Each structure stands twice: as C-alpha cells, then as structure tokens.
Amino acid sequence: MVRLRIDPATAYAIFFVLFLYVPVLLIPLFSFNDSTVATFPMKGFTLNGYRGMAADASLINALKNSLMVGIGVSIVSTALGLLAAMGATRYAMPGKSPVMGTIMLPLVVPSLILAIALLVILRQVFDIPLTLWTVAAGHVLVCVPFSMLVLMSRLEGFDKGLEEASNDLGENAWMTFWRVTFPIALPGIIASLLMCFTISFDEFVMAFFLSGTDQTLPVFLYSQLRFPQRLPPTLALGSSILAVSVVIVLVSEWLRRFGVQSNKPGAF
C-alpha cells in the first residue's frame, strides 16, 4: 500500500490558496445561475446576467468612468514613479531614506485613513468639489509607491555602464535617457502602467469618499448589492473584471521580469 506523504509547508500552501481563491471563484460560478439568490443548489444555467450587464446604461457609464480614471492614473503614476525611481537608483541624495519612507507611506497607512484625510483637506481646507478628478488624485497617491517599486527593480537590474558609455560618446542626459535608459526600462514601464491601472480600477475606499455624482465602477457595484434583482448583472460584471484583472496582473509580472539582466559576473 502506497502512503501519500505531504510536506507540512506544501499542505499549508495548498490550504492557503484554497482558502483565498475558492470564495472568489464562486462569483463566476453564480454569474451563470438562473436565480437572483446566490445559493446552492443552482437552479439552472443562463446568460441573462451578462445580457443584463450589457444593457445597463448606468453600469456602462460607471465602467467608462473607471476606465478614464484608471488610464489617467496609470500614466501619471508611472511618470512620477519613473522619475522617483531614477532619482533613488542613480543619485546619492541627502535625506534619501526619509524621502523614500514618505513616498512609501501609502503602502502601510490604511486607505480609510488616507481617504478621510484627503476628504477633509479637499472640502474643508481648499473647498474643492468632489469629482472624478479628486478620485484620480487619491488613486495617484496610492499607485505611485507601487510604480516606484516596480521601476526601481527594473532600473537596478541592468548595467549602468551603458549610460556611462552614452555620456562618454557625447550624448546629453535627455538623449541618454531616451536612447538607452527608456528602451531598457520599457518592460518595467509597461508593467507599471498595467499594475497602476488595475489598482485604480479596483480601488473602492478612495472612490467611495472622494467621488461626487459620477461614480466609479466599484462604488456603483456596492450600491447595487442592496437590490436582489440587480445581483445577476453585478455578478456577471464582477466575473468579467476578475478575469481581466488576473490577465493584467500576470502580464504585468511577466513584463517586469522579462529581459532583466544581472550585474553579477558570469550571469547571462
């Protein structure tokens, strides 16, 4: 009789993955259920939820808002993250550690605290009306640290002698960046764009506190959960977002790792 032995670390990893992802996988499953109640046993297979999703004008408008905010936030966050990453990896600046810690604060401070603080500053201090612009500003604050981390790992992974050679051959700083640094960092830039877009697109807390009459998609979906008849289209859209988000994150990570060269002797 063959006894199957599973290493405790492997068993823990399997349990962790199941605990984390099995509840998420129920969303696509119930999106095909022919019922307004997400319970077992399922009553039947139907695509009515996806048809209702495509015909819902409010839902489509919220989707467009999230796409606009996500695209803008990803571009701005990547530009700021690239500048910060170049400064952190290329120059020895006084007070570098405190500055880096300040930039990374949104990674450890709860989003709820950041959202309330921004809401108070925008409304009470500057009296700025809440729009998609305020939502985008909050998302940029959250996304810049992620962009910076991705781009720092990329900029530290190639031979800096290439930039020095470009300078020795007479190129100025801008042309060195455009002809040498930018092409090498391009996979990291694309990865940063995809990751920042995903974070902005899925972010709820900032959008909930900082949005006005124009809702982003996560806020809209949250408001629809109060109505049982709106559950099938909501589950259908949630399934679509889940699939797209997984693809974007996987592509982002692949691009981040693609083509990174090691500075260690003998590495290929």
In a domain, 263, yes or no: no
pLDDT value of position 263? 45
Which of left, alpha, beta for 44 (phi over 0: left; psi -120 to 50: alpha)? left
Query: How far apart, in Å, are the Cα atoms of 251 and each of 156, 157, 228?
Result: 21, 19, 35
Q: Which residues have a Cβ under 8 Å from the Cβ of 196 and sit 6 or more positions away?
A: 70, 73, 74, 77, 78, 81, 143, 146, 147
* Alpha-carbon span 173 to 166, nearest angstrom: 9
Task: Report the alpha-carbon angle 89-90-95, nearest 5.
Answer: 75
* Alpha-carbon span 202 to 70, nearest angstrom: 9
pLDDT value of position 83? 86
pLDDT value of position 140? 92
Query: Which domain CATH number covers 116?
Result: 1.10.3720.10
In a domain, 34, yes or no: no
pLDDT value of position 33? 75
The stretches of the chain forming alpha helices (DSSP H) are: 8-31, 48-55, 57-90, 96-103, 111-120, 132-155, 161-168, 173-176, 182-202, 205-210, 217-224, 231-257
pLDDT value of position 37? 66
Number of domains present in the structure of the chain = 1
In a domain, 167, yes or no: yes
Q: To which residue do tokens 């696509």 refer?
A: 28
Which of 172, 192, 190, 164 has its CA nearest to residue 84?
192
In a domain, 127, yes or no: yes
pLDDT value of position 68? 92
pLDDT value of position 252? 66
In a domain, 177, yes or no: yes
pLDDT value of position 264? 45
pLDDT value of position 76? 94
The answer to whether 51 touches 32, Cβ cutoff 8 Å, is no
pLDDT value of position 262? 45
Domain that holds residue 196: 63-257
Q: Which residues have a Cβ under 8 Å from the Cβ of 93 and sit 6 or more positions away?
A: 87, 99
Q: Which residues of the chain have pLDDT under 50?
A: 261-268
Sign of the dihedral defined by the CA atoms of residues 212, 213, 214, 220, in that order: positive
Which of 148, 134, 152, 158 has its CA nearest to residue 215?
134
